[in-house]
Each structure stands twice: as structure tokens, then as C-alpha cells.
Chain A
Amino acid sequence: MASSTIAERDERLRPSGVVRRLFGRPELGAVAGYLLVLLFFAVVARGTGMFSAAGILSFLEVSAQLGIVAVGAALLMIGGEFDLSVGSMIGFAGIVVALPAVEWGWPLWLCILLAFTVALLVGWVNGMIVSRTGLPSFVVTLGGLFVLRGLTLGITRALTGRTQIPGLRAQLEGDWLAPLFAGEVGTGIMQWLGEMGWIATRPDGLPLASGIPVSILWWLLLTALATWVLLRTRIGNWIFACGGDPAAARNLGVPVAKVKTGLFMFTAVCATIFALVQTLSVGSADVLRGQLKEFEAIIAAVIGGCLLTGGYGSAIGATFGALIFGTVQMGIFYTGVNTDWFKVFLGVMLLVAVLFNNYVRRKATEGR
């Protein structure tokens, strides 16, 4: 009778080709969705400059900033938790950098160090509360959402009487660290491309797209790092296990609480990178920065194939989720469609992506 089980399995198994393997990847839905988005805009927005160098960089920059937090959110979601305090952490990190720099004249490196320290602390507190109490993380971090936003406002108003901290640009002049977050790379290449007449130039002869914003590099770097960790390291295995079945993981010797706390800290660090990129390139901090980013990050992760229940997903998927979000968001300005309809469009895209995802995942776990 046991041998009949084996025979049954044989019937159910199908050859495992590359195609099937690809079909089982969580990011497949997002990649396909993104191709659809590109196709859509290639038709609707053709000849508008959306796909010129400047246009591409423009939607890539928006996607990149969202992508930076989406990668963190994706890892955390795979680990089975949410962080709703990401958006508030962005605002908080922004003022943690700007306040000491502008008000007290601290050097930038010290401010950045402070911001990352604070972020690690916030992440640690989130993680400890969630893993110690076992409360749902969206409740715990919802508290963080309000507390951090409130602290941001309270501290800024108490110290400056305003809600914005400008003047960071003057402070940054000549600082060696600032280009790491707010600079552009490849300016020489862009210049050359402009001189060759291959990309559009401004009236004064400089290329319209003067360089690639560093945020895009941060985004790619974080995506690559997260993908490596997820797929090729022990920690990655543990992250999947924590989200897939924390009790089983614990029984197998996985330090679930440590992994989750680490993920919360990583998410807060991602939010801080986002804040640094935005604060240093805009030149001012504002207590309202980062509002709703927590939801956009989760949306990007979900479009990218992360399961809301945890244990499944990918960083590359989240990156494509952010690309879909950013491209649609910017692309709609080229289509000439009234931007009032943006949210309808975005909502439909999200719904299609999630439906498609659900379909793909079912196929994948059925083993085809």
C-alpha cells in the first residue's frame, strides 16, 4: 500500500522546467504587470517625452524613493509583520537630521549617525513590543505612527516655532557626505550624451537630465542586498520561516524574535535612507514628510507578490511594485488625462496586480 503512494506521486509530478520555475517566482506578477504598464504608456504617451532620458529618470526617481522603503516593507512582510510607522519615521528622521544641523550647527556626519541610531532604536522598540507581547504588529506600529508624527511636530514646534526646517542646503555646501544621499552620478556621461545630441539639452546647452540621482543607486543596492539575503543566506531562510510559520520556525531553532526585531530595525533604516535622500536633496525638512508612505510601501510589496499573511514574496517584486506605482503616478501627467482620475487608475492597477498574484500563487503552491 505504501508503494501505491509513490506511484500516485509520480503521476502528479510534472517535469520541472525553467518555465515552471519562473512561473513559481513571486515577482512574476509584478514584472508582467510592469511590462503591461510600459506598453500602455508607450502607446498612450508616445512622443510626449516620457521616454526621453529626462522623462525616464523622472519616473525612476519617484519609483526609487518609494522602492527604498518598499524593499524594507517587503522583507518585513515576508517575515510576517507590518510596519505602519514607516511614514512617520521618514518625517522623524528628517527632522532628526535637519534640526541639529541647522539649529545647532552640528556636522552632517554626526546628524546622520544620530538619525540612524534613532532609527535602529525605534525599530528595536517596535520589534521588542511585537515579539514580547505577541500583539498584531499593525496595532503596535499604528501607535508608532502617531507617536513619531506627534514627536516630530512637537519637537520641531517647540524648538523652532515652525513646522519646516529650511536652510539645509547652505549647511550642506561642500560637505563630503551629502553627495552620498543627494548627489547625481554619471553627470559626465550625460554631458557627453548631450553634446553628442543623443539626449535633449536645455537652452544653455547642458543636458536636460544632468545625471542619475543617487537615490536610484540606493534603491538598486538595497534591492540587490535584500534579494541576496533572502535567497542565499541563513537569515533569509529564517525570514521566510518566521513569516511562514513562526511556531514551526521556533521549534526548529530559528530565533524568531531576533529575526523580527532585526527586520523592524531594517525597515526603520530604510525609512531613514528615504528621509536622508529627500531631506538633503530638497534642502529642507518638513514635519509632514513621508505621510502615507507606509501604505504605499505595503502596496508596492503586495503588487510585487508579497503575501499579506507573510512567508512569501520577494524584494525584486517590491521593486517592481514601486516601479509600477512610480511609473503610473508620473506617467499619467504625460497622458494628458485629468489627474483627478489618477487614484481610480492606481486602484484598478492595484486590484489587477493582486488578482493576478493570487492566481499565480495558487498555481505555484498547487505544484502544477
Chain B
Amino acid sequence: MRRLSVLAAAAAVAFGLAAAEAEAARDARIVVVTHGQAADPFWSVVKNGVDAAQKDMGVTVEYRAPETFDMVRMAQLIDAAVASKPDGLAVSLPDADALGPAIKKAVAAGIPVVSLNSGSDVFDSLGIRVHVGQTEYEAGLGGGKRMREAGVVKAVCVNQEVGNVALDLRCKGFADGLGAQVTVLAVSMDPTEIANAIKAHFANSPDTQGVLTLGPTAAEPALGALEELGLLGKVQLATFDLSPVVLEALADGKMLFAIDQQQYLQGYLPVVFLALNARYGLMPAGVVMTGPGFVTRENAVQVIELSKQGIR
């Protein structure tokens, strides 16, 4: 019984804090719904951007994301957000078919909507005026071209989430940009497994010259695997997105480049746009491109400090 009451007290304190935060509501309330869980290093930075914008603009922002990559759940979250009549809604659009009806409802209800991250090809058809993000295919294409310039003719694309359209597009763009043979290596999120899968791949096709990983989750084990194989510097390694380890490797010349979509902006800008819209009725139009930016040995050092702060 006593334990129960302690639990209850703890819960009450937790809810009290949440309530106090909500009470501090200022002139506008904006809801951000994305498909990225806060535990994902990429989305962690997006959320940092959201949080910063909330502070800078003096608005209230609620960040919501489904626990897994679940479009039905995400559509329900959007429905719930619309029902709460916010002053602005920012959503990511990984699957327009699944999310379209919910977003159209929001637009019909007169709620200004900004899309972010994925969805650059469909946002206007849903009545959304601004998209903040990078196009995955083009980013992959740029990466492929860069790798071709480095002399790679046979490469592997390490995909830790086969079936995620955005990641599949990155691999496809990369293959097209390279204009050569690219094997897709489907792996899980487990670092040991990724490292050993890459080792197995090199045992199988030792003539592979380039490795592209689709995120730091895979890039870090890939670094380890290449180091163990004695191939660091001989095989060109590149990745999407940044992490402190990736940046260090870039600075040390162990990696060729990292494709940075500067996702901090994807969290920051939509909130700013929606806040300004709520306050002054201002809103840009079209696609606001946040990337691709390429981080290489030359500019890695500058980026490292920002990355530690969760901004890049």
C-alpha cells in the first residue's frame, strides 16, 4: 500500500510538472507530428530544433511521434492534433496515401500545415503550402556522383531499414549517381550484426571499392569492420547523416564524406513559419531545401562542436 502511494505521488509530481509546462502556454500552440521516434539520433536533432524554435519564438509546441514506424498510428495522431484545433501543424510525410486524408482534414479545418523531412513530391497535392526538407533521391544521387569522382565503380549500400521508402530512395539515387553496380546489404539495427555483415560482404566480393551507409547507426560499425579488415582508406566509406563518431572519422580522413540534410532546420523552420503565420499571417511557399550539405575532411572540425550540442 505504501509503495503504491509513493508511486501515485511520483506520478502526480510528473503530471504536475507536465501541467505546469502546459500552463506556460503563450500566444500560439503548434503541434508537430513526425514518424521519427525521439530515440533515433537523427530525429533527436530535429526535436532539438523544434525545442529551440519553441523557446525562440515564444510559442507552445507539442511534439508527437508513433512508437514505431506505423503510418496508421501516425494518422491517428494527426487526427487527434486536428481535433485539438492548434494554430499550426507540422507533419512529416513518409506515406502520402496513409496520411493524406488526415492532412486534408486539417487543411479543410483551416489549420495551416507545413510538411517536413519526407514528402517533397506530394505536399502540394495535399494542400500544404510549404515543405521543409531534402529530397532523398537527389541526395543519394549527389552522393553517388561524389563517390564516382573518387574513382569507385563497385559499391555497397548498407540499408538498416529495407522497406522504408526514404532509405530505399537514397540507395536508388546513390546507384544512379554512381552509374555502376550497387549491392544493397539489408541489415538490422544491431551494431555487431552490421559489422559482421559488412565483413561477410567483403569476404564475398573483395573488389568492392565503396560503402555507403544510410545513417550513423550503420556508419559506426562499418568503420570498425573496415578497420579490422585493414581496408580503411582503401575503401571509400560515406554515410548519410552525422554523429560525433562520423565527424571524427571525417576529420581523420577515414571517411570520404557525409551527406547532411541539416535536419535541425527541419525542426526549427516549420515552427518558425507557423509561429510567424499565427502572429502576422506570413508564410513562404514551395520547397525550402535544407540539404544536401556535404561534410568532408575540410569542414568536419567546425561541425564537430555543433554536433556535440545536438544541432548537427
Q: In the complex, are there CB atoms of A and B closer than 8 Å?
A: yes
Q: Hey, which bits of chain A sit against chain B, CB under 8 A?
A: 48-50, 52, 54-55, 58-59, 61-62, 65, 149, 152-153, 157, 160-164, 166-167, 202-204, 206, 208, 210, 278, 281-284, 286-289, 291-293, 329-330, 333-334, 336, 338-340, 342
Q: Quick one: which of B240-271 are within 8 Å of A by CB? A: 243-245, 248
A336 to B204, CA, bound (A): 9
Q: What 4 new A-B contacts, CB under 8 Å, besides A167-B244, A206-B230?
A: A162-B41, A162-B45, A286-B41, A339-B185
Q: Considering the chains assembled together, what is the distance between the CA atoms of A163 and B41 in angstroms?
A: 5
- The answer to the question of B191 belonging to the interface, with a C-beta cut-off of 8 Å to chain A, is yes
Closest to A205 in B: B230
Is the CB of B298 closer than 8 A to any CB of chain A? no
**Residue picked from B41, B196, B221, B230, most chain A C-beta under 10 Å:** B196
Partner of B243, one of A58, A164, A208, A329: A164
Interface SS of B by simple majority: helix
Given contacts A49-B203, A163-B44, A288-B39, contact A340 B244 (CB under 8 A): no
Q: What separation, in Å, do the CA atoms of A282 and B48 have in the docked complex? A: 26
Question: Are B38 and A153 neighbours in the complex by a CB distance under 8 Å?
Answer: yes
Bound complex: CA of A161 vs CA of B229, how far in Å?
34
- Closest CB in chain B relative to A108 CB, distance in Å: 19
Instruction: Mark B281-312 against chain A: 1 for CB-CB distance below 8 A, else 0.
Output: 00000000000000000000000000001100
Specify which chain B residues have a CB less than 8 angstroms from the CB of A161 in the assembled complex: 44, 48, 309-310
Q: Separation in Å of the A101 CB from the closest CB of chain B?
A: 15
Residue in B204, B229, B244 with the greatest tally of chain A CB atoms within 10 Å: B204
Q: Is B224 an interface residue (CB 8 A)?
A: yes
6 inter-chain pairs at a CB distance below 8 angstroms, sorted by A residue, are A52-B203, A164-B243, A208-B230, A278-B191, A282-B220, A288-B217
Complex Cα gap A61–B200 (Å):
13
Q: Tell whether B121 is near chain A: CB-to-CB under 8 Å.
A: no
B162 interface residue, CB < 8 Å from A?
A: yes
A62 and B245 contact, Cβ closer than 8 Å, known pairs A288-B39, A288-B40: no
List the 4 shortest-distance A-B pairs measured between CB atoms, nearest first.
Answer: A202-B230, A49-B203, A339-B186, A161-B310
User: CB within 8 Å of A: which residues of B?
Assistant: 38-41, 44-45, 48, 162, 184-193, 196-197, 199-201, 203-204, 216-217, 220-221, 224, 228-231, 234, 243-245, 248, 309-310
A-B contact count (CB 8 A): 114
CA distance A163 to B40 in the complex (A): 7
- Take A58-B196, A153-B39 as given contacts and tell me if A282 and B230 are in contact as well, using a CB distance cutoff of 8 Å: no
Chain A residues whose C-beta falls within 8 Å of the C-beta of B243 in the assembled complex:
164, 166
Q: Using Cβ atoms and an 8 Å threshold, which residues of chain B touch A329?
A: 193
From A291, which residue of chain B is reached at the shortest CB distance? B189
Q: State the Cβ distance, A290 to closest chain B Cβ, in Å.
A: 8
Cross-chain contact of A157 among B44, B162, B228 (Cβ < 8 A): B44
CB distance from A334 to the nearest CB of B (A): 6
The chain B residue sitting closest to A164, CB to CB, is: B41
User: B189–A288 contact, CB under 8 A?
Assistant: yes
A208 near B229 with CB under 8 A, answer yes
- Given contacts A48-B204, A49-B203, A50-B203, is CB(A157)–CB(B38) below 8 Å? yes
Known contacts A157-B44, A282-B221, A286-B217: A163-B192 contact under CB 8 Å: no
Nearest Cβ on chain A to B201's Cβ, whole angstroms: 6
A155 to B180, CA, bound (A): 44
Cβ of A54 and Cβ of B203 under 8 Å apart?
yes
Closest to B228 in A: A210
- Looking at the assembled complex, report how far the CB atom of B147 sits from the nearest CB atom of chain A, in whole angstroms: 21
* CB-CB nearest in chain B for A52: B203
Cβ contacts under 8 Å, A334 to chain B: 200, 203-204
Chain B residues with CB under 8 A of A281:
192, 224
Contacting pair B204 A49 (CB below 8 A): yes
Residues on the B chain within 8 Å of A336, using CB: 204
> Whole-angstrom distance between the alpha carbons of A55 and B248 in the complex?
29
A162-B310, A333-B185, A340-B162 known; A287+B196 contact, CB < 8 A: no
